[in-house]
Structure formats: C-alpha cells, structure tokens
A and B are shown apart, each in its own frame.
Chain A
C-alpha cells in the first residue's frame, strides 16, 4: 500500500512539478503583478487597485472584451460547422487516401501562424488573386475592396488558422464510432439527419467540445490576425494587452487586463460547461 502510494507520487511528480513551474507560478506572478504599478521607468512592486479601477472606469475595455468574446464564440461555431464535414469525410476514407487527407489537413500548419495569416493579403487584396481573376473573366470591372480589411475577414483568418484544432478532435471522436451503429440505424430506416442528431452528434460531442474549447481559447487571445486583416478597426482584447507590454511598458496594467480576460474566460467555461456537459471532454464521453 505504502509502496503503491510512493510509486504514484513519483509518477505524478514530474507532471505536477511541470504544472507548478510553468503554469501555476507564472499565473500567480501575473496576478500579483496586476496589483503593482508601472510606468515607462519600470514596475514598482507596491499594492494598488488602480489597474482594475482603470479597467472598469473606461468603457473601452469592457466593449473590447465583449467584442473579443463575440468573435471567439462566432469563430468557434463557424469552425465547428466547417470542421465536422471535413472530419467526417476523412474518417470515412481508408488506407493511403485517409493518410493523404490527414497530411493535407496538417500541411498549412507546417508554416508559421503569421505566414498563414499574411497569405490572405495577396489573395484578397485590391490587386490580389481573386480580384485579378474576377476582372480577367469580366465579372467585375473594379476591384472588390470589401474582400479585405474588415471583421468578416478576421473571422476567415481565425477559422483558417485554427481549423486543425477543431477538425482533429472531431476526427478522432468519429474514428471511435462503431460503423455498425450507423448500418443498424440505416437498416431500421433512420434518415441521415436522424443518424447525425441521435447517433453521431452525441457520440462525437466530447470531440466537438474539446475542439471548441481550444478554438475559443486561441481566438480570444489572438492579436496578430485582427491586426493584419482587420484594417483600421482590427482590434481585440489581445491587442490592448500587447500594447501595454510592447509600447507603454505598463506591465502591471497589462497583467491586470490578462487576469480579467483569463477570469472571464474561466467563468464562461464554468457556466456553459455545466450546460453542455464539459466534463465529457475529460472523461472521454463516459460520464
């Protein structure tokens, strides 16, 4: 019994130490720093609530927080709608074809995030590939300016860069679904929509949730994509945080904004988690 506990402790120790050193300590430091004060001359380790007061006093911050959450939710929903058919299609393949499709899915991720975002500029720009193609075949005679630098393109960019994080967990969930269940449903006369809603969706729900959490978390912390593709209005909460560190040297206020974002996201996950059964993500759908 005692040896068993020791073995368990030894097994858990590396992971716990890792979590402590690289997750809990930095997070704790972030929270502590959010009560300090900063100026261009540096950060002073005193205690002040002024950073949080500033957040609540200026509506700019709550407006941008809400905008960021809205973009996060919509991006997650669009990603799910696009990723599910892709994942389903791949899961129905076999042999080299399945392998090739999975490789294709990963292919864009062999380049950097910035490159995957930047690539939309020559495609959607005023003299970009799409405008050139449409003008050369006579569909338009002036470039379409709305193709780039607006919020819609920010969604496109975010969905594109984070698709894999949604598609992969859904694909893995679909892989575990026993095909005989679907065959049985078909034999019993179930329509495709019924099969999807009553068999596939419940069985792959942990995968959808898992992908949804990842895409949502990545989206609400994004700042490169809105900056590159969003035009003059391309700003999310992450851009505000980045500006505190990169331009203003106001680490304390940047830390306070980060703590607020992390707190709101955690709260949102806890509240919606009860409703959508988020515990299934961690229990593999068994609860």
Chain B
C-alpha cells in the first residue's frame, strides 16, 4: 500500500514534458470527437491542487482526467497519510489544497473531527459525482458519512501481500501462501520487511493469529515485537521506498518481501517472474479515499476530478499501468475473468480471507515498539 509513496513528481513537474505538451492536444481531440466531458472541460478548465500518491496519476490516467474535465491536476509531493493530515490541519491547510487522497482508515478520524461541525472536509455534492454510484458494495463501509452528508469517497483500493520470486519459492507451498514465508527460517537472510511500524506490526500480528491486528493491546504488541526480534536475523533488510523494494527483488538480493501490487506490476514489466501470495491468515486490503478540504477554493473542479477518477476510462488506465484498481465495480467487470484473477480484482469471490487495514489507537506505542525491534 503506498502509504509513504515512491518519490512523486511535483506540481507542474508532476507531468512529464511529453504529457504536458500533449495535454491540450488530448483535450482538443476529445472535444473534436464530441465527448461531453471534453466540452465541459473547455468550458470550465482551471486547476486542482491535490495531495495524493503519485502512483495514482500515471501519464495515461492523468490524460483521462484532463480529457474528461479539462482540469490541470497539480499534485504536490505525497509523503504519507500522516503528512497529508499535517498539511490539512496546518494553519491555512484547508484552503491551500482542493483535493486530498489518502488511506481511508488512517485519515477518517482526523478529517471528520470529533463531532458534527468539526469536519475538516466539506460535504460532497454527490449530484456532481454521478460515478459514485458505481462504487462496489465491498467498499461501502469506506464511504464516510455524517448526518446524511458524505465526506470521503473510497477511490482506489489495493491489497498488501508478499511479493516473491517464483523461480525461488514454490508457489503451491502452504508456507509460500502465508505471511509465515517472511518468518520461515529456511528463508533466513532472503526476505525483507518494510521499515514501517504500522504495516510490519499489522502483518506480524495477523500471522500470530490476531483476527483484528489493529486492535491488539500493549501486552499483545510486546509479544509481536518479541517474535519479530526472535526472527530478526531472517530479514535481509527493511526497505523504505518503492524503488528500493523493487530493486531488492530485481537484483536477487531477496526472494520475497512485504510489498505492494504496484511493485508486482513494475517487476513483471521488467520481465521478472514474480507473483504475490494470498496469505492464508488474511489479505490486508485498504482503500484510499478522496475528500475536499473544507475551504477549498476550487471545490467544483475537485468534484469533477473525483468523478473522473471513478470513471471506467480512468480505472482501466490505472489498472493497466499500475495494477491498482479503482473502487468502481464497472472497472473490475470490464476485465476478462482471467485478468480479474491475475490482478486480484475478484478477491471478494475467490475465497481469500480479507482483513481491512484498521487504524491502531495507540500508534505511538507501535512506533516505539518498532524502534525497540530495530535497536535490538
């Protein structure tokens, strides 16, 4: 899951030179074809300043947004959900940005505030987001509402699992299809975790049998850390960034690591024989929700961008480039059964145990415990 995203391109430099140059041409072409979105685009245009993972706006997907809305999406560098909240809650933050997309469970509480009236996002006008109707039932719980108003919409989803080298690990082994592959002593020195308290403790707790890993108490957290310390020599390293993780597998430094599905796409694109496992203890799934900061100066344009991100065209472009699906049911249905299985778009039907990535109340303790693991 791209919590701390690989280096993103910034604002105007967020577009490649080619996409920047072709953007007006794409919009003009779409308008010439008579696409309604394109006409609206030229009528309205403008720009939206967004805080969102750069991986959700590859050139192909950006071109769809541009052609459908005519809006220039300027994405500032994305660091993490924590940083996104810091940007939102900083003085003036609610009017500095027009759109934010981050991990739903992580931002839900702070964005909504403690009680009605303290929301840091504006209520969405769903009449301007007709594509919201296509959000799959699986993600209904991640549509965040209060008093009949909707504030956050899940836009992109994904799952975190073990990305492994199929030439080195037996795909049909029960161990490979478990989080245990990261702790199995036979793989000592050839696996890697992420240097992230939240994700690494979540998967370890799940492996140790906690049904809701985000709800473990302090003594259970201590047990998880003790287990991690006992297995420390198994970990070759703790990766920190997307490129580093991809390089670890591509170079043969490790055979398996905790990773994101976009890594699978990147490695497969480079010709590596990799796959992700379907952990028997449970697959960690997440959504990233879009919301409009309470005082956004370009709220109408932000609504348009959200609507575009839930369109079939954007969803297909995103899946084809990064393997990340949007929450639109139409997108999954537009792929063949074979592709759905390969990409994991059918996880609701394929019998995989699904564990939503909840948010731990005592994140501070998790960070401290993770420091203890690393210092041991």
Residues of A within 8 A of B (CB): 40-42, 58, 60, 63-64, 67, 118, 121-122, 125-128, 145, 148-149, 227-228, 231-235, 239-240, 243-251, 253
Contacts and interface: CB of A to CB of B under 8 A. Distances in A.
Contacts of A64: 371, 375
B121 to A, nearest CB: 14
Contacts of B196: 247
B208 interface: no
B372 A60 contact: yes
Interface stretch (B162-170, B293-301, B360-368): B360-368
Interface stretch (B56-64, B81-89, B305-313): B81-89
Given A149-B236, A234-B238, A243-B197, A228 B82 contact: no
Contact of B244 (A42, A228, A245): A228
A60 B238 CA distance: 19
Given A149-B236, A231-B238, A232-B235, A126 B110 contact: no
22 contacts: A40-B82, A40-B110, A41-B114, A64-B371, A122-B251, A127-B253, A227-B238, A228-B244, A231-B236, A231-B237, A232-B232, A232-B237, A232-B238, A232-B373, A234-B374, A235-B375, A239-B371, A243-B371, A246-B79, A246-B82, A249-B85, A250-B367
A235 B79 CA distance: 20
B109 interface: yes
Nearest to A244: B367
A58 B193 CA distance: 25
Interface of B: 4, 79-80, 82-83, 85-86, 89, 109-110, 114, 189, 193, 195-198, 232, 235-238, 240, 244, 247, 251-253, 363-364, 367-368, 370-376
B238 A246 contact: no
Contacts of A244: 367
A60 B371 contact: yes
A41 B197 contact: no
Given A67-B375, A231-B236, 8 more contacts: A41-B110, A63-B375, A126-B253, A127-B251, A148-B237, A228-B244, A232-B235, A243-B370
A64 B80 CA distance: 25
A232 B374 contact: yes
Contacts of B253: 121, 125-127
Nearest to B107: A40
Contact of B195 (A42, A227, A250): A227
Contacts of A247: 80, 82, 196-198, 363, 367
Shortest 5 CB-CB contacts between residues of A and residues of B: A235-B374, A249-B82, A232-B235, A42-B89, A231-B237
B79 A233 contact: no
Contacts of A243: 197, 367, 370-371
A248 B244 contact: no
Nearest to A128: B251
Given A60-B368, A234-B374, A249-B85, A145 B363 contact: no
Nearest to B235: A232
A227 B374 CA distance: 10
Prevailing SS type, chain A contact patch: helix
A240 B371 contact: yes
Contact of B251 (A42, A125, A235, A246): A125
Given A232-B232, A248-B364, A40 B374 contact: no
Given A42-B89, A243-B371, A249-B86, A126 B237 contact: no
Contacts of B198: 247
Contacts of B80: 246-247
Contacts of B370: 243
A194 B259 CA distance: 59
Contacts of A121: 244, 247, 251, 253
A245 to B, nearest CB: 8
A128 B39 CA distance: 54
A250 B240 contact: no
B368 A58 contact: yes
A224 to B, nearest CB: 9
A119 to B, nearest CB: 12
Contacts of A118: 244
B95 to A, nearest CB: 17
Given A127-B251, A232-B374, A246 B240 contact: no
A127 B254 CA distance: 10
A42 B82 contact: no
Contacts of A235: 371, 374-375
Contacts of B195: 227
Contact of A40 (B83, B109, B232, B371): B109
A149 B237 contact: yes
Contact of B109 (A41, A126, A234): A41
A70 B363 CA distance: 29
Contacts of B363: 40, 247-248
Nearest to A253: B364
Contacts of A253: 364
A189 to B, nearest CB: 54
Contacts of A60: 368, 371-372, 375
A129 B110 CA distance: 48
Contacts of A58: 368
A60 B364 CA distance: 14
- Please indicate which of the listed interface residues A121, A148, A247 has the most CB atoms of chain B within 10 Å of its own CB: A247
Contacts of A227: 195, 238, 240
